[in-house]
Amino acid sequence: MGRTAPSARASDAFGPDLDDSGCDILHIDMDAFFASVEIARDPTLRGKPVIVGGLGNRGVVSAASYEARRFGVNSAMPIALARRRCPHGVYLSPTFSEYSRVSKAVMAMFGEFTPLVEPLSVDEAFLDVTGSRRLFGSARAIAAEIRARVAADHDITCTVGVASTKFVAKLASTQAKPDGLAVVPAGKVLDFLHPLPVSALWGVGEKTAETLARLGLKTVGDIAAMPTARLRSAVGRAAADHLHSLAWGRDARKVETTREEKSISAEVTFDQNIADPAELAKAVLALSHKVAARARRAGLTGRTVAVKIRSGDFSTRNRSRTLTVPTDLAHEVYAVAADLVRANVTAPVRLIGVRLEGLGAGGDLYQPRLGEPEQGWRELERTVDDLSERFGGGVVRPASLLDPEHRRIGERRHGKTNPRALGEVDD
């Protein structure tokens, strides 16, 4: 993938050739990951504004190439707004299987340099290379080699920040984007931090920024210079102590190689508000299958099933119910989720979400319920997992999730009495 032309940015004073002594933390972030993968798959898209996301009227942008960003298109933006701002853009539905494949390959490559890899998402990770210098050279040399490998192996680019702490490394990569490498020497952390706007600090959202602005605090340096007592009176003790520590470059967090999953969820935004109970039930069923399949892949079970219901006026309800026995089975998730939705939908629905919480080790630790047959839902759903792994997601679906045309074909080929025509599975 072609390199980005140099431009003036805050990280220019902290380029790749500075002293990296004591800087053992790398933050690596793929550039416009989904869009970049799509461009790598179809090189004719290079140089064009590419927008990946839900293509319906209520879809949102998942990723935008830097050419698209010049038109004011950003991730999480409604797709309708993106189309108004960039009417000549190339709009693509996400290809999640391909993003997952590239992500796994990239993360595995990181592991060749250090066992201390903390993935933050499919396209972002922290690395601790403290023990890697003897084999691979300096931290900045490792960063440069990783960037070259990502480009050579996958035809996409990434940006790397090198620093002494996770917080500063992430800020460095943010400032160096796209396709950059920034080193913040341990002795120049404050020179790097203090000119940045207060919004650069973790935990400073729009409201907190407004509060800080009323105090005359516009830069990280302003916060560092503010007496802690006065800062506490404005934003509270915990927030003030947190911001003050970050403003002085203090971040004691280590790179964690295992991250505890707190929940597994899936949701859908409808093109039009839905009130029909049958349509809502189909949506909940599809989401339940997604959530349960993800739980099984992760070897987890959940004790609590929760739903998110967003009405047309954007009011949102979250409801949950705790099970007597943890589960990773779609039909059990669906039974609870559907009941919660039926009991709490009082107006046409814009969005539905299903979530599994209270996660713990599952898989082979599963204990059959009293009176449960030896071969049942668990074996069926694991069989579906195996088929999906071999032939792709959606090869086997509940009958009610098939479109009417597939139902008619199945009935013509197999007769209406066959419940598994075309790979249908009973709900």
Whether residue 124 lies in the annotated active site = yes
- Other C-beta atoms within 10 Å of 13: how many? 14
Q: Residue range 415-419: average pLDDT?
A: 36
pLDDT digits (tens, 9 = 90+) for 176-190: 999 999 999 999 999
Q: Is 29 annotated as a binding residue?
A: yes
Catalytic member of 124, 145, 261, 411: 124
Cβ atoms of residues 153 and 105 within 8 Å: yes
**Greatest Cα-to-Cα distance within the chain, rounded to the nearest angstrom:** 78
For residue 102, what pLDDT is reported? Answer: 95
For residue 362, what pLDDT is reported? Answer: 64
Q: Is 328 annotated as a binding residue?
A: no
String of b and e for 356-381 (b: at least 16 CB within 10 Å)?
A: bbbbeebeeeeeeeeeeeeeeebebb
Domains in the chain: ranges and CATH: 28-185 (3.30.70.270), 194-247 (1.10.150.20), 263-395 (3.30.1490.100)
Residue 299 has pLDDT above 60, yes or no: yes
* Residue 107 backbone dihedrals phi, psi, to 5 degrees: -65, -40
pLDDT digits (tens, 9 = 90+) for 107-164: 999 999 999 999 998 999 999 999 998 899 999 999 999 999 999 999 999 999 999 9
For residue 4, what pLDDT is reported? Answer: 40
- Residue 215 tokens read as 């105090």
How sure is the predictor about 12, in pLDDT bands with cuts at 50, 70 and 90?
A: low
101 contact partners, CB below 8 Å, separation of at least 6: none
What is the spatial distance between Cα 248 and Cα 370, in angstroms, rounded to a whole number?
58
What is the spatial distance between Cα 231 and Cα 148, in angstroms, rounded to a whole number?
44
pLDDT digits (tens, 9 = 90+) for 193-237: 999 999 999 888 888 888 899 889 999 999 999 998 888 988 888
What is the bridge-based pairing of β-strands 158-163 and 124-128?
unpaired
What is the spatial distance between Cα 118 and Cα 120, in angstroms, rounded to a whole number?
6
What is the spatial distance between Cα 381 and Cα 387, in angstroms, rounded to a whole number?
10
What is the spatial distance between Cα 114 and Cα 146, in angstroms, rounded to a whole number?
12
pLDDT digits (tens, 9 = 90+) for 238-269: 888 999 999 999 999 999 887 666 789 999 88
